[in-house]
Amino acid sequence: MPSYLDQINWNADGLVAVVAQDASSGRILTQAWINRDALEAAVNERRAVYWSRSRARLWRKGEESGNVQKLVDVLLDCDNDAVCYRVEQIGGIACHTGRESCFYQKLIGGSWKTVDPVLKDPGLMYK
């Protein structure tokens, strides 16, 4: 395994949080988890690869929807316990709800309001 993987402070489950950020706009697109294999695959394949906790397997963003995240940069925070994937979001949709970003709910007046439109019906993206 590459030595850069040993410099990360993985949690007890062997995971670390990763945020995907649009490399052009700076918008936060999604937050997920990675393990060593996911990060190594992402670096080698130059695309966002995550660890799906619900499926217990590697998950290549866009493998079903086509909304691939091309990897531009990988950043590590100051505590070595969080990663940022700077990506080019293919198709302009990062969220499984069909929105640009998973962060589409804004706290307004004490309640969460949806502030981003659905760009594509999720039923058309997933089988």
Identify the CATH number of the domain in which residue 78 sits: 3.10.20.810
Q: What is the pLDDT of residue 34?
A: 98
Number of domains in the chain: 1
What percentage of the chain has pLDDT greater than the value 90? 89
CA atoms within 13 A on the CB side of 34: 30
Model confidence, pTM:
0.92
3-state helix vs strand vs coil in the chain, percent to 5: 15, 35, 45
Domain span at residue 83 reads: 3-125
How far is CA 73 from each of CA 49, 69, 85, 114, rounded to the nearest angstrom? 13, 11, 6, 29
